[in-house]
Structure 1
């Protein structure tokens, strides 16, 4: 079966967006479809957008086919798509697996309120945990290489005692953060992608929340990742993240096949980039 999708990214965090308002997929195995499409098009996840009683909805599946409750950059991409395609207002709500979220489009910037940080705990001096729609461990230290973040992230993500201690035996996302002149920098090893991603919205929110507590700095905080920067601020008790999103093009996926090589969309941009001037 062929599936039409839109390839998008938020700070390099890449997704295929499947519009089920136009092309519903009732009864289909979205986990299997998601794994196939993400592999074919080299994306971090698959977004399924729809409407429920006239209200926008979003579901997010990781690259490996696991359904998640939340994805910050995925929600920002879905927000941009809904605003450009179906919604007439710049401020509206989207129903997610982590509840209803208020979202805002302001010219090139898209901001989403992830809600309050939950279940914070200090594990040790440099290791903290917080839930921002999905579980995140935050490791405080100095600048870390991509290779080291990948290796250490995998170890912590699979540390059974750590995951059980914070109440998520299925695994935790791991963020390595350090101070910068503008705020913080981070590298995030994501569950479901099983690698360090260009950016992670919920990870940026979790990292900024922990940084504010540990470093004694006030929100808003600029969180810099490999793919660009997100501004994290306090919005009526919730953590809001804002930054750019981008369309990469329309693509066709095949639900029953997995290709070793990505099928590139028209007008495709390589995903290993950083926004100039950020």
Structure 2
């Protein structure tokens, strides 16, 4: 089976956009398909898009095939693609596993409103937790190199007692942040990718939110990662992320089997079922 997709970049995060208006996959196992496509094209995640009766919807799968509730940079890439392909307005909504998200396009900049920061808690002197569409632990400290972030990030991501203590036994993403003259810098170790990624939109939002608590800084705040810069804003109490996206070209993925969807529900990290998403 050949699956056509568009490869996009959002602040260093790489995604394959599968337009199900053009490539319908109803009844097929997107988890297995996602893992195959991500392996072939070295991408962080697979985004599946539909537009029904004017409402766009997005599903995001990690490279390991796990479905997530949200992905900030994936949402921004979806926004750019939908605006260029299906939707004529610069401001619209996209249904996600974490609810309906307001998005906008202004020239090269794509902004996505992630909603309220939820369930914030300070775990210890340096460790904080906040939910920004997916669960994030934020470690406040000084600048550290990539290898150290990878080792420490993996350790915290695998810490079952930590995950249980914040109510997310499926695991948490881990962000390491430190202050800069422009705002904050960060490394993010992402669940599903199981490595430090070049950028993370929900992680940048979580880190900026924690920075307001710890450093007393106000939003908007500039966050810097290996992939580039995002601006985190406060929009009537909601967190939004803003930055550029770009196209990397059309690709074709090859899947040996059709992977019919199992009758038994597979485990994933989506806390909202498909019916809830469809009704948004």
Both structures adopt the same fold (TM-score exceeding 0.5) = yes
Residue 113 of structure 1 corresponds to 113
- Alignment deviations for residues 47-91 of structure 1 (CA, whole Å, 9 cap, x no partner): 000013320110000000000000000000000000000111111
1:119 deviates by 0.3
Task: Quote the residue 2:220 is aligned against.
Answer: 220
1:267 corresponds in structure 2 to none
CA contact (8 A) 1:8 1:246 kept: yes
- 1:240-262 C-alpha deviation (Å, 9 max, x unpaired): 000010100000001238xxxxx
Distance across 2 between alignment mates of 1:52 and 1:168: 32
Counterpart in the other structure of 2:187:
187
Q: Is the 8 A contact 1:32 1:255 kept in 2?
A: no
Aligned to 1:144: 144
2: CA distance, partners of 1:194 / 1:83? 31
How far, CA to CA, are the matches of 1:186 and 1:70 in structure 2?
20
Aligned equivalents of 1:228 and 1:88: distance in 2?
A: 28
Deviations 1:205-238 (A, max 9, x none): 0000000111001000000000100000101111
CA shift, 1:22, in A, is 1.3
Report matched runs for 1:231-250 at 5 Å.
231-250=231-250
Corresponding residue pairs, total: 257
Instruction: Tell me the distance in 1 between the aligned counterparts of 2:5 and 2:245.
Output: 16
CA contact (8 A) 1:101 1:115 kept: yes
Confirm or deny that 1:176 pairs with 2:146. no
CA distances 1:1-42 after superposition (whole Å, capped 9, x unpaired): 110000001011000000001111011100000000000000
Is there any run of 5+ residues in structure 1 with no aligned partner, and where?
A: 258-278
Runs of 5+ unmatched residues, structure 2: 258-280
- TM-score under structure 1 length normalisation: 0.92
Greater shift in the superposed pair: 13-22 or 51-60:
51-60
The CA deviation at 1:158 is: 0.5
8 Å CA contact 1:15, 1:43 repeated in 2: yes
Secondary structure of 1:196's counterpart equals: strand
Indicate the residue corresponding to 2:43 in structure 1: 43
Runs of 4+ in 1 over 3 A off after TM superposition: none
Aligned to 1:197: 197
TM-score scaled by length of structure 2: 0.91
